[in-house]
Each structure stands twice: as C-alpha cells, then as structure tokens.
Amino acid sequence: MRRDSGLPIAGVITCDLPARFCEAKLATLLRLMLQTDELRRIRIWLAVFMAGLILSGLTAFPLRTEIGWLNSLVYSGWFRPVAESTGLSGWIERVHEGIDVTDARYPFLAYGTDWLAFAHLVLAVLFVGPYVDPVRNKWVIQFGFIACGGVIPLALIAGHARQIPVGWRLIDCSFGVFGAIPLLLCWRAIRQLEQQQAARTIVCAE
C-alpha cells in the first residue's frame, strides 16, 4: 500500500492556499519577470544612446588633431583613390586648412565647439532619468524624438547656408535617423512596461 507522506513531489509547485489566490500570485510573479525584461531592454538601448552622445561630445573637443588624422588618412593607402574620386579628399583638406588657420590666428572660435561638446555631455546626463525610472521620465524620450527630428531640417538648411556638401549634409541627417531608432525601441518597451504595471495594480486592488 502507498503511503502518502504529505510532502510535495520534487519539481511540482504546491500551494495550500485557495486556488484563486495561488493563480493571482503566479500571475503577479510572471508580470514582475516581464517587467524586469522590459526594464533591462530599456536600459540597454538608453545606454547605447547615451554612449553615442558622450562619444560625440568628447570628440568635439580635439577637432584640430582629429581633422589632421583624417586628412592624413584620405591621402594614404587604398583609401586615396576612393577619396579623390568622390571629392572627399578635397573637402577634408579644405576643412583641415580652415580649422588650422582659425585655430592658429583665432583660437577663441573653438570656444563655440567646446560648448557644443559640453551640450552633448549634458544631454547624456538628461537620459539618466529614464534609465532609473523610465515610466515616470518618459517625457525625456519624447524630447529625444523632437531633438532627432530637428537634426534633419537643421542639417539641410544650415548646411546649405554654410556651403556644406550635399553628401555631408545627408551624413549629418543620418545621425537624427539612427539616433531615433534606440529611442523608438525604448518607447515601445516603456509602453509595455506601463501596461504591465497597470495590470499589476488592478490585481493588487482585487
């Protein structure tokens, strides 16, 4: 005769409480796991976006050194024919000359790009808010969308006024497009996180 020891069988979740209460607890646990996944996804994409802002800011400080490296690159090795056929070498050389002359004779003009670099770093700090609490600070993501959208008309209009080549203006526009992608993924994850939190609140109220 089989003796019932009253112990739970290994691998099987048992609950001595009412079935409805157990189901509610399991549903809550599942929602918490989903919320953790969504929060992790949001933070990964925000970290990518913030890293891009920080990198853009830091590289805006040593412009003279960087353009010197780039000018040497377009005239070396296999890249030279490509740069010459596309007109890239001529444009990089002109930019290098312009930065070289202004930095030597009018170094205070670089103070403007220093503030540009600082602005990128400050914007990266702004996104710490949604990184910590994405639902409460989702307005920062909306702000990011507006900023990314503003990149395109600025690059096209101001780029034309400043005699920037069309190809380079399109490259600048791409920063707004590619910057909006991680923000869009964050926004979708935040909406799902909101729905899960609302469902959890209803369950707790019951």
Residue pLDDT, tens place only, 132-153: 999 999 999 999 999 999 999 9
Q: Vertex 189, ends 188 and 193: CA angle to 5°?
A: 120
Low-confidence ranges of the chain (pLDDT < 70): 1-35, 199-206
Q: Which two tokens stand for residue 136?
A: 């409460």
Output the pLDDT for position 3: 47
Output the pLDDT for position 30: 52
Output the pLDDT for position 200: 61
Contacts of 123 (CB under 8 A, 6+ apart): 53, 147
Output the pLDDT for position 144: 97
Output the pLDDT for position 5: 46
Output the pLDDT for position 20: 55
CA distance 49 to 178: 10
Output the pLDDT for position 122: 97
Q: pLDDT tens digit string along 188-199?
A: 999 988 887 776
